[in-house]
């Protein structure tokens, strides 16, 4: 009796399987029914079951092999060999992310900076894989969409591409391929150049060999000279390791060494040199406690540094909370800005700061008298606050009292003081929240001066707007412009920098050109009279 019960149970199981299979359609192809009524032989029944199971797209997974006894209405009780199929597992993720769109965001003599649009995926993007000359060079995680290739050779062409991957290992198609070369710097003075956006009256540039050169005002020793009040041509700053970039404040200078250390000199009345004193320095001193730094920025009388781990550090004048420590007390030693992490770039204005996170959000703190923090108020902030409604940003530029942001799609946003039309919206009304500059697109870089703004488009054209009282727009007359206007250049630009009331560009051929306000000789052409159109600062102007 027990044996008969087991046989009946097995019959029921197999019949249930057959009913299930029959629910997906006939077991036999059209025209192949047996015995005229669709009844099947045992061998045909088993084969049909196997075929139908396979046709379910691997949804039924075979488990144990058994021999079953079934009853067929034509052939009677028969024993059939078959497979018992188990439960349907979760469907595997087979959908690849979308392909990113790659673009160049900056170049120096030995590096190329890249950015790309965020890919989309049904389960989320886990990483981006960057290729240089068709070789995988890095995997970018944590949602970052930027990468800088260092150690490149001037004049050599490199190809770059990127692809996205999800957690299941599905890879997107490769992005568009870019063929790029570092800046050709054979005759130009600097591979990177900085004009201070605050009341800075001196200029610095880094040469391809890692040496730093400076010119303009030296009233506080910011040129590293003991006797001269100013120098109208570039002079080599001695006593430094190889430098990768630099930034200038009102009367002090910051230099970032290639080994990630930071060096400062010049005025120090608020502790902006970070050496624990308020004594000015006529020669560079290393800032103690800083390492693995990837960017430095000088405000009017305060200093910022961005570490490779995404944290931000500040020191110096803190009268408006620009050190981000919740107080307004000056500090002559380095301290971390609380509440900031995963930062990809920083910009120091006169008395405030902007920081961009890897997720594309913008954070601001410090002086806010003109709404330059973009938080909808005119209240100072002693700790970073996020700008609402502004996302997808790749970089930001802090001026004296107005701010700019560049999105990954090439759009430009401005806010803050607009007394001379530097917001580019056709008015002179201040604005406490960001708004898009409608007539600007395809931008790859932005820079904010005191009363004017600059933008570099991907085609190498330079666009300016705002005040032109000192010739800083390089446009005819002294009339300002409330909307962006392009300027005439001999060749496309590769980089821009807006100073206090002056401007500069660097061309792909390696030429550095500047114009505008020229007190103390900060244009670097050997004179101290204003320059109304771009003039070249070449190696022959420099001296040791």
Mean pLDDT over residues 166-187, rounded?
Answer: 78
Domains assigned to the chain? 2-85 (no CATH), 102-180 (2.60.40.10), 192-541 (2.130.10.30)
Higher pLDDT residue, 209 or 74? 209
Question: Quick one: how far is CA 452 from the chain centroid?
Answer: 24
CA distance 181 to 177: 13
pLDDT-derived band at 517 (thresholds 50, 70, 90) equals very high
* Band of pLDDT at residue 358, cut at 50, 70 and 90: confident
Instruction: Record the tokens describing residue 272, joined without a space.
Output: 């902006």
3 state SS of 18: helix
Q: What is the mean pLDDT of residues 523-539?
A: 88
pLDDT at 67 over 50: no
Mean of pLDDT values over 352-369: 96
Q: How far is CA 105 from CA 114, 261, 290, 496, 518, in A?
A: 5, 24, 26, 12, 29
Whether 321 shows a pLDDT value over 60: the answer reads yes
Print the SS3 string covering 412-481. EEEEECCCCCCCCCCCCCCEEEEEECCCCCCEEEEEECCCEEEEEECCCCEEEEECCCCCCCCCCCCCCE
Cβ-contact 408, 394 below 8 angstroms: yes
Q: Sorting pLDDT into bands at 50, 70 and 90, what band is 323?
A: very high
Q: What is the pLDDT of residue 87?
A: 52
Predicted confidence at residue 195, as pLDDT, reads: 85
49-75 average pLDDT score: 41
Lowest average pLDDT, out of 194-208, 270-284, 337-351, goes to 194-208
Mean per-residue pLDDT over the chain, rounded:
84
CA end-to-end span of the chain: 109
pLDDT-derived band of residue 90, with 50, 70 and 90 as boundaries? low
Tokens of 135: 């070789």
Residue 541 has what pLDDT? 52
Question: Mean pLDDT over residues 299-307, rounded?
Answer: 96
Interval 231-245 mean pLDDT: 93
Rounded to an integer, the average pLDDT of 123-142 is: 93
């Amino acid at each position: 009796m027990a044996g008969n019960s087991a046989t009946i149970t097995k019959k029921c199981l197999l019949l249930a399987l057959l009913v299930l299979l029959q629910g997906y359609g006939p077991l036999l192809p059209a025209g192949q029914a047996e015995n005229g009524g669709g009844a099947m032989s045992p061998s045909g029944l088993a084969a049909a079951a196997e075929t139908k199971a396979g046709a379910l797209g691997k949804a039924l997974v075979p488990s144990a092999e058994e021999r079953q006894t079934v009853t067929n209405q034509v052939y009677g009780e028969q024993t059939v060999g078959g497979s018992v199929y188990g439960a349907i597992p979760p469907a595997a993720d087979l959908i690849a992310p979308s392909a990113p769109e790659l673009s160049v965001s900056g170049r120096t003599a030995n590096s190329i900076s890249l950015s790309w649009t965020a890919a989309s995926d049904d389960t989320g993007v886990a990483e981006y894989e960057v290729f240089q000359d068709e070789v995988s060079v890095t995997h970018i995680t944590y949602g970052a969409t930027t990468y800088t290739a260092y150690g490149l050779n001037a004049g050599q062409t490199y190809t770059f591409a990127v692809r996205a991957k999800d957690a299941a290992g599905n890879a997107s198609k490769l992005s568009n391929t870019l063929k790029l070369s570092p800046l050709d710097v054979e005759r130009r003075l600097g591979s990177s150049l900085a004009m201070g956006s605050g009341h800075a009256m001196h200029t610095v540039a880094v040469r391809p060999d890692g040496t730093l050169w400076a010119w303009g005002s030296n009233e506080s020793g910011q040129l590293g000279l003991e006797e001269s009040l100013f120098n109208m041509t570039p002079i080599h700053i001695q006593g430094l390791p190889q430098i990768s970039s630099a930034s200038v404040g009102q009367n002090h200078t910051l230099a970032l060494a290639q080994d990630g250390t930071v060096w400062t000199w010049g005025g120090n009345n608020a502790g902006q040199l970070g050496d624990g004193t308020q004594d000015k320095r006529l020669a560079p001193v290393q800032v103690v406690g800083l390492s693995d730094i990837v960017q430095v920025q000088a405000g009017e009388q305060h200093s910022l540094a961005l570490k490779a781990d995404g944290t931000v550090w500040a020191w110096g004048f803190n009268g408006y909370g620009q050190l981000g420590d919740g107080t307004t007390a000056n500090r002559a030693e380095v301290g971390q800005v609380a509440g900031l992490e995963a930062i990809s770039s920083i910009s120091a204005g006169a008395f405030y700061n902007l920081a961009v996170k890897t997720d594309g959000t913008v954070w601001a703190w410090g002086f806010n008298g003109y709404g330059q923090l973009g938080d909808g108020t005119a209240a100072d902030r002693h700790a970073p606050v996020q700008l609402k409604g502004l996302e997808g940003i790749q970089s930001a530029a802090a001026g004296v009292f107005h701010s700019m942001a560049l999105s990954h799609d090439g759009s430009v946003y401005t806010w803050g003081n607009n007394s001379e039309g530097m917001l580019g919206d056709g008015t002179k009304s201040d604005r406490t929240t960001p708004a898009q500059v409608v007539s600007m697109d395809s931008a790859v870089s932005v820079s904010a001066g005191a009363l004017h703004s600059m933008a570099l488009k991907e085609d190498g054209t330079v666009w300016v707007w705002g005040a032109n009282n000192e010739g800083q727009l390089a446009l005819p007359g002294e009339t300002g412009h409330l909307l962006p206007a392009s300027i005439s250049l001999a060749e496309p630009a590769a980089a821009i920098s807006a100073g206090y009331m002056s401007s500069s560009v660097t061309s792909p051929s390696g030429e550095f050109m500047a114009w505008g306000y020229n007190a103390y000789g900060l244009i670097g052409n050997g004179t101290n009279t204003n320059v109304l159109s771009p003039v070249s600062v070449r190696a022959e102007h420099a001296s040791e």
